[in-house]
Amino acid sequence: MLSYRHAFHAGNHADVLKHFVLVELLRYFNRKDKPWWYIDTHAGAGCYALESEQAGKTAEFAGGIGRLWQRDDLPAQMRPYLDALAQFNPHGRLTFYPGSPAIAMTQLREQDRMRLFELHPADAALLAQTFAHDGDRVVVRKADGFAGLRGLLPPPTRRVVVLIDPPYEVKDDYRRVVDTVADAVKRFPGGTYAVWYPMLARAEARQLPERLAGLGADSWLDVRLAVSKPSRDGFGMFGSGLYIINPPWVLPETLEAVMPWLARNLGEEGSGAFDLEHHIE
């Protein structure tokens, strides 16, 4: 249950989609001076060395951020995401990839706060070390983020972005995601909740967006990026998606401009594709 380590997958196509959108969410929140909270239920280790043995073993970043780094034809809307990555690679060479909490940290202001959960002992220790210098704004907890989220809602600021990004190693993760989001929306209906999910052949993965839609949120957005066709044997992740409750009203326009480009440039052998659905009140 605790075997998943994101270091093997850092910077892949799923990270590109997830972190591009995360930057856009927090940039929107930064339009106002009022403070916000960022809560990450499965924060990982914080930052990943792409030349490490773990990252090098799979080299998934080569098919993700590796295809975008230092491109001169990026859509303008992607520049803030690449600027965030550049803070971890100041000399121009892509050697580090920031995880979700480190990405969020690039947008954090003095008045904002982060609450990070990680259950894996080794990753939790690395995460705490990464943010040890900023204990006033960032709290790291070695705990189950599904359960821990309950105690943080509603946040004192009444403005929050919650990222729910489990490894989906076990089938029960799918159920817990839906139950956690349902509970969170009841506790604080005004929060922005972003759920990352893998595109897999298994029924639980295919049904997850439908189950999230079944929660009945008034405002929602579902974006998916496929980078290959499903394998004949039914194994392997061929894309990923984000289901967002209470997304910024400007996000669909941004995604409509960026997703065709991402599908073309991250798709394998011309098989890239995307879907975008939304209803925002």
Active centre residues (catalytic)? 165
Fill in the DSSP letter of residue 171: T
Going by their DSSP bridges, the two strands 138-141 and 160-164 should be labelled as: unpaired
Q: Where are the beta strands (DSSP E) in 53-124?
A: 96-98, 113-117
Nearest residue to 185 via CA among 210, 219, 143, 157: 219
Distance of alpha carbon 242 from alpha carbon 17, whole angstroms: 8
- Please give the Cα distance from 163 to 194 (Å, whole number): 5
Q: Cα Rg for the chain, rounded, in angstroms? A: 17
Name the residue among 274, 201, 198, 267 with its Cα closest to residue 232: 201
- Distance between CA atoms of residues 2 and 160, nearest Å: 28
By three-state DSSP, how is residue 81 classified? helix
